[in-house]
Amino acid sequence: MMLRYLLLGTTLGLAACTSPATHYYTLVPTTESAPKAVTPADFQFELLTVRMPVQVDQPQLVVRQDQGRLAILDNERWGAPLADEFHDALAAQMERQLGVRDLSGLPKNAGQPVVSLQADVRRFDSVPGQYALVDVVWSLSRRGNDDSKRTTLTCATVVKDNAGVDLNSLVLAHQKAIGDLAARIAGTARQWADNPAVGCPR
């Protein structure tokens, strides 16, 4: 009998010492089995480093509780640094919209112009049960074959998508917001590369 109680006490003690499971999330969307067919852009594309607000650029998910409070969720974490997650997600969505690969850090074809994208995330708000919001100032830069003539366009876009109470729904809302952002940037890039007089999307 004493041995039975001892084993039971040991089991309960180990259970009490067990830490909660850690969950990992990503902003990179699942690859579509049959992505939509798009006409490839007539320029090469590269996505430069993404800048992220320090308040949310944490290993853990940071959610907004009210107007002035943030909560850092210790056991809910990003699969990579948030700036890298956003960069890779935006790159994947831009590739899907433009029909060309991101050639950042890779050799470029000397016979084709290059459009570079710089993204500065001003806000990355996560409000469970309400919305996911991204506020991004982005800049396009186009250089020609001889790299002597460069033109730029700087715009700002705010995208807000509804989110459920659970964190997975919140992350999926951020994925959708980044997809919407990429669609606006890619549409502008296609027009602006052909006509520098084209302005920012409304």
Q: Which residue has the higher pLDDT, 6 or 110?
A: 110
Residue 127: CB atoms within 10 Å: 16
User: Rounded CA gap, 199 and 152, in Å?
Assistant: 11
Task: Quote the pTM value.
Answer: 0.86
CB 123 within 8 A of CB 135: yes
Is the confidence at residue 7, as pLDDT, over 60?
no
Rounded to whole angstroms, the Cα distance separating 85 from 121 reads 12
Average pLDDT over residues 96-103: 96
Evaluate if residue 142 carries a pLDDT over 80. Answer: yes
Looking at the DSSP bridge assignments, the partners of residue 155 are: 138
SS3 content of the chain, % helix, strand, coil (to 5): 30, 35, 35
Confidence class of residue 143 from pLDDT cuts 50, 70 and 90? confident
> Residue 147 — pLDDT band, cuts 50, 70, 90?
low
Please name the residues in contact with 175: beta carbons below 8 A apart, sequence gap of 6 or more: 27, 28, 29, 89
Tokens describing residue 90: 């935006």
CB distance 104 to 47 below 8 Å: yes
Q: Which tens digit of pLDDT belongs to each residue from 55-66?
A: 999 999 999 987
Q: By the 8 A CB rule, do 47 and 102 touch?
A: yes
139 closest CA partner among 147, 149, 148, 150: 150
Q: Is it the case that residue 3 has pLDDT exceeding 60?
A: no
* Pairwise CA distance, residues 173 & 101, whole Å: 24
Q: 40-194 architecture in CATH?
A: 3-Layer(aba) Sandwich (3.40)
